[in-house]
């Protein structure tokens, strides 16, 4: 039995009802198996220690530099973003009070959608409360029973769940392999009518940090009359000459990709997600997307803060330039240490260690040196590929990178 459960049971003030005890017994067997496999997850209490330096955190009482946040541009504590949030909270309150289609859709939400659409170069955009809900909502509105959904084998869990949700024929193709995808697609003339084929892919893969071959995927989709959807959670704001994500990075236009989705809690530093596309797409989602219709809208203050973050993304390109300089420095130093990294030009730089115990030990050793780096284990990543998922932020210094590299140089001697 995991220690936390054992302590809780000892301190229980009264005997649980028999039905609750029966459920606990049933669940504890699963928890014990997770712990035995070195896959038990424990939350740490992490607090920002310096608003001017969001990479400085306090972790369970220990001061650390963290290298595992998705706040790639350091916007979560940006002065103008915080000011916009506070001003809107003082004007509108701290909650939206209802779903968008009741009374929850306010002027900040509407302005944010218009500004996101303008930034992405699409007719419309629609804001969702979370990225997970956005992916599920897109699929629930568009994919029909009998359709085919084809997904990259390393897609994010939310895309996988979206593809499985509607009774479609679900298949996964080899990672970042357009040729493998094409082999699974039959010509349109051979398809039952009105069956559609959908291709869902991450733009930047969250655990490997590589970019999907979007040009090749677009070619396959066009050839076979399939609809391509991109989840650009880790590309939006970060890659591309102007921060327009994996589309810009790969040389595609929004007209070539009918469904573009991205989250706002990573490079934008705030919360929520959006989908950008045609007028018809957005109106269809408003009418049919269950995770949009039946949930509370994000607070107006969050929408206002996101508008401020979007302005920073457009007016402070030095943030991306600095971020990519930090990444380049780390990759050069890692090569000099003989560390094997994935082919990633993004802030996500995974260091594969093998099994779960090795990844956990390495993470703990780094924490002892004041460096917070997450150990990622199955089922988040495939068996045998447990890793340190190292991520970088504009808020890091070159000295932070040197300190990380120095600590990594000792890991082989420690496990």
Contact present, 226 and 254 (Cβ < 8 Å): no
SS3 220: helix
Distance of CA 294 to the CA centre of its chain: 23
User: pLDDT value at position 39?
Assistant: 85
Distance of CA 7 to the CA centre of its chain: 34
**Mind listing the pLDDT tens digit for each residue in 346-363?**
999 999 998 899 999 999
251: its two tokens: 């040389």
| Global pTM value | 0.90
SS3 317: coil
Whether residue 143 has pLDDT greater than 90: yes
User: pLDDT value at position 340?
Assistant: 85
The two domains 44-72+317-414 and 78-315 share their CATH topology (first three levels equal): no
Whether residue 7 has pLDDT greater than 50: no
18: its two tokens: 């028999």
Half-sphere exposure of 333 (CA within 13 A, CB side): 19
User: pLDDT value at position 11?
Assistant: 53
- Residues known to be catalytic: 206, 234, 266
DSSP letter (8 states) at residue 71: -
Distance between CA 340 and CA 236 in Å, rounded? 26
User: pLDDT value at position 38?
Assistant: 84
SS3 248: helix
Please give the average per-residue pLDDT across 229-250, as a whole number: 98
Report the alpha-carbon angle 99-82-392, nearest 5: 100
Q: How far is CA 13 from CA 16, 25, 143, 225, in A?
A: 9, 18, 50, 63
Percent of the chain clearing pLDDT 90 (strictly above) = 80
Q: Partners of 60 in the beta sheet?
A: none
Q: Which residue has the higher pLDDT, 86 or 192?
A: 86
Distance between CA 76 and CA 228 in Å, rounded? 31
H/E segment holding residue 324: helix 318-337
Looking up tokens 């310096």 gives: 50
**Mind listing the pLDDT tens digit for each residue in 276-326?**
999 999 999 999 999 999 999 999 999 999 999 999 999 999 999 999 999
DSSP letter (8 states) at residue 192: P
H/E segment holding residue 398: helix 398-408
CATH code of the domain made up of 44-72+317-414: 3.90.1150.10
- Domain positions in the chain are 44-72+317-414, 78-315
Give the 3-state secondary structure of 78-133. Answer: CHHHHHHHHHHHHHHCCCCCCEHHHHHCCHHHHHHHHHHHHHHCCCEEEEECCHHH
Distance between CA 304 and CA 116 in Å, rounded? 12
Contact present, 182 and 219 (Cβ < 8 Å): no
DSSP letter (8 states) at residue 188: G
Percent of the chain clearing pLDDT 70 (strictly above) = 92
CATH code of the domain made up of 78-315: 3.40.640.10
Q: How far is CA 30 from CA 2, 17, 195, in A?
A: 11, 21, 40
């Amino acid at each position: 039995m995991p220690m936390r459960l054992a302590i809780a049971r000892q301190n229980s003030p009264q005997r649980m009802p028999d039905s609750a005890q029966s459920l606990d017994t049933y669940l504890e067997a699963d928890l014990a198996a997770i712990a035995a496999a070195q896959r038990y997850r424990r939350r740490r209490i992490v607090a920002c220690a310096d608003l001017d330096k969001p990479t400085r955190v306090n972790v369970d009482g220990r001061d650390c530099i963290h290298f595992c946040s998705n706040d790639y541009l350091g916007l979560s504590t940006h002065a103008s973003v915080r000011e916009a949030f506070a001003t809107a909270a003082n004007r509108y309150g701290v909650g939206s009070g209802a779903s968008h289609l009741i009374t929850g859709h306010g002027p900040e939400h509407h302005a944010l959608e218009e500004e996101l659409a303008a930034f992405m170069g699409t007719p419309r955009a629609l804001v969702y409360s979370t990225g997970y809900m956005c992916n599920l909502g897109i699929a629930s509105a568009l994919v029909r029973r009998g359709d085919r959904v084809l997904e990259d084998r390393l897609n994010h869990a939310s895309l996988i769940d979206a593809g499985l949700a509607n009774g479609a024929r679900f298949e996964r193709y080899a990672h970042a392999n357009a040729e493998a995808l094409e082999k699974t697609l039959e010509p349109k003339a051979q398809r039952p009518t009105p069956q559609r084929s959908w291709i869902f892919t991450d733009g930047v893969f969250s655990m490997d940090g590589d970019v999907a071959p979007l040009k090749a995927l677009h070619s396959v989709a066009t050839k076979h009359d399939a609809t391509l959807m991109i989840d650009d959670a880790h590309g939006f704001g970060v890659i591309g000459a102007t921060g327009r994500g994996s589309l810009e990075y790969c040389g595609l236009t929004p007209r070539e990709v009918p469904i573009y989705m991205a989250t706002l809690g990573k490079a934008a530093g705030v919360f929520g997600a959006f989908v950008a596309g045609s007028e018809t797409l957005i109106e269809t989602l408003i009418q049919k997307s269950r995770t949009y219709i039946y949930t509370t809208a994000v607070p107006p203050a969050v929408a206002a803060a996101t508008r401020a973050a979007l302005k920073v993304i457009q007016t402070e390109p030095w943030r991306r330039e600095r971020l990519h300089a930090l990444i380049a420095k780390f990759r050069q130093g890692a090569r000099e240490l003989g560390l094997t990294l994935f082919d990633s030009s993004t802030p996500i730089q995974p260091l594969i260690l093998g099994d779960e115990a090795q990844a956990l030990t390495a993470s703990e050793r780094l924490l002892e040196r004041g460096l917070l780096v997450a150990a990622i284990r199955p089922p988040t990543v495939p068996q045998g590929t447990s890793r340190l998922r190292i991520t970088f932020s504009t808020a890091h210094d070159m000295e932070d990178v040197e300190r990380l590299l120095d600590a990594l140089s000792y890991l082989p001697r420690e496990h």
